[in-house]
């Protein structure tokens, strides 16, 4: 369980760092760029990817799609945390698991059992209640709802694409992960270079330092999550449940206690339903179809 706890800590720390980015006026795109440089370097050191095994037959369209999506969604993640807080953003990110579940049914013809259906039915009102705001908040934060929606959709699509990579058995998954990080770094670098040339941003050491720390914790989340699955290979649903529930609970506590994020009673009801949805979906994985 130590790996699960470490993965949860790393995941929530990434959200906290993005939250603090607003306070210290960090350039998120610069931090995200260095984040991927740090992640691909650590990926190379820890996983020893078989780079020479890459060829024209590799799933390059998926790699490229992920390379564009990852930094883009990272920016929406930062904007969502900045405008709506850690609690709601973490829930949007965790409930994005509904998208690969629906993709499994509609695209890959996977059968659904009653527990998974219940989890989905609980999950959608959970999303609605979590992001429900008072009328005065709606006036002050008009348009901000787009950020968690993009986080929800983006992370869901990214999950589907990574699952497609996992099905490609010719290359080790870690090699594909390294390739995606490399391409994501290049895409982010192009964006930063364009912004510097056009005078929209300036390279600052604080952004690079923040990006390095962000990359370490971002990679730590992936590393410990994979180690948890390896250590508990016979109980993958345990890892799945503990990770998602843990991030929602810890993220909510930090958001409410440390950053004084204000939630209504309906928002709290949404959090409870979100936890219930994850539990039902996890239980559904243990049911023999």
Average pLDDT for 150-169: 92
In this prediction, residue 143 has a pLDDT band, given cuts at 50, 70 and 90, of low
pLDDT in tens, 180-204: 999 999 999 999 999 999 998 899 9
Tokens of 65: 């799609």
Residue 33 to residues 11, 72, 93, 127, Cα–Cα distance (Å): 18, 11, 21, 30
For the cut 60, the answer to whether the pLDDT of residue 5 exceeds it is yes
pLDDT in tens, 216-232: 999 999 999 999 988 98
Any residues with CB less than 8 A from the CB of 174 and at least 6 apart, and which? Answer: 43, 47, 48, 49
Determine the pLDDT at residue 104. Answer: 82
Q: Is 260 left (phi over 0), alpha (psi -120 to 50) or beta?
A: left
Average pLDDT for 232-248: 88
Residue carrying structure tokens 């795109």 = 29
Let me know the angle formed at the C-alpha of 82 by 33 and 31, rounded to the nearest 5 degrees. 15
Determine the pLDDT at residue 9. Answer: 97
Calpha distance 286→127 (Å, rounded): 25
Any residues with CB less than 8 A from the CB of 143 and at least 6 apart, and which? Answer: none
Calpha distance 215→226 (Å, rounded): 17
By CB neighbour count within 10 A (0-12 exposed, 13-18 middle, 19+ buried), where does 266 fall? middle
Q: Give me the residue spans of the domains in the chain.
A: 2-284
Report CA 76 to chain centroid distance, whole Å: 11
Q: How many CA atoms lie within 13 A of 63 on its CB side?
A: 22
Determine the pLDDT at residue 214. Answer: 96
Average pLDDT, the chain: 90
For the cut 50, the answer to whether the pLDDT of residue 289 exceeds it is no
Determine the pLDDT at residue 287. Answer: 61
For the cut 90, the answer to whether the pLDDT of residue 176 exceeds it is yes
Report CA 54 to chain centroid distance, whole Å: 26
Tokens of 155: 């992370």
Determine the pLDDT at residue 134. Answer: 62
pLDDT in tens, 12-61: 999 999 999 878 889 999 999 999 999 999 999 999 999 999 999 999 99
Determine the pLDDT at residue 288. Answer: 46
In this prediction, residue 242 has a pLDDT band, given cuts at 50, 70 and 90, of very high
pLDDT in tens, 75-106: 999 999 998 899 999 999 999 988 988 888 88
Determine the pLDDT at residue 24. Answer: 85
DSSP state string for 174-223: HHHHHHHHHHHHHHHHHHHHHHHHTTS----HHHHHHHHHHHHHHHHHHH
pLDDT in tens, 259-287: 999 899 999 999 999 999 999 988 887 66
231: number of Cβ within 10 Å:
14
* Three-state DSSP class for residue 37: helix
Determine the pLDDT at residue 110. Answer: 76
Calpha distance 123→231 (Å, rounded): 29
Closest residue by Cα to residue 251 from 45, 24, 89: 89
Q: Is 207:27 a contact under the CB 8 Å cutoff? A: yes
* Three-state DSSP class for residue 12: helix
Determine the pLDDT at residue 237. Answer: 81
pLDDT in tens, 119-137: 989 998 998 898 876 655 5
């Amino acid at each position: 369980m130590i790996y699960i706890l470490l993965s949860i800590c790393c995941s929530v720390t990434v959200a906290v760092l993005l939250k603090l980015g607003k306070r210290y006026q960090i350039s998120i795109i610069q931090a995200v760029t260095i984040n991927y440089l740090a992640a691909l370097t650590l990926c190379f050191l820890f996983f020893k990817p078989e780079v020479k095994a890459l060829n024209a037959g590799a799933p390059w369209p998926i790699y490229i799609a992920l390379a564009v999506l990852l930094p883009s969604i990272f920016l929406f993640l930062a904007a969502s945390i900045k405008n709506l807080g850690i609690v709601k953003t973490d829930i949007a990110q965790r409930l994005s698991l509904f998208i690969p579940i629906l993709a499994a049914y509609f695209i890959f013809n996977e059968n659904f059992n009653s527990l998974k259906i219940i989890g989905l039915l609980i999950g959608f009102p959970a999303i609605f209640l979590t992001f429900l705001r008072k009328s005065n908040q709606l006036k002050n934060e008009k348009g901000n709802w787009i950020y968690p929606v993009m986080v929800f959709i983006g992370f869901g699509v990214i999950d589907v694409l990574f699952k497609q990579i996992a099905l490609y058995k010719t290359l080790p998954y870690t090699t594909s992960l390294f390739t995606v990080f490399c391409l994501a770094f290049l895409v982010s670098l192009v964006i930063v270079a364009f912004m510097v040339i056009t005078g929209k941003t300036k390279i600052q050491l604080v952004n690079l330092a923040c990006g390095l720390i962000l990359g370490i914790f971002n990679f730590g989340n992936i590393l410990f999550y994979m180690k948890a699955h390896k250590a508990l290979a016979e109980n993958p649903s345990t890892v799945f449940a503990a990770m998602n529930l843990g991030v929602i609970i810890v993220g909510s506590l930090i958001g409410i206690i440390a950053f004084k994020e204000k939630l209504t009673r309906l928002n709290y009801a949404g959090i409870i339903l979100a936890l219930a949805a994850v539990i039902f979906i996890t239980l559904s994985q243990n049911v023999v179809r």
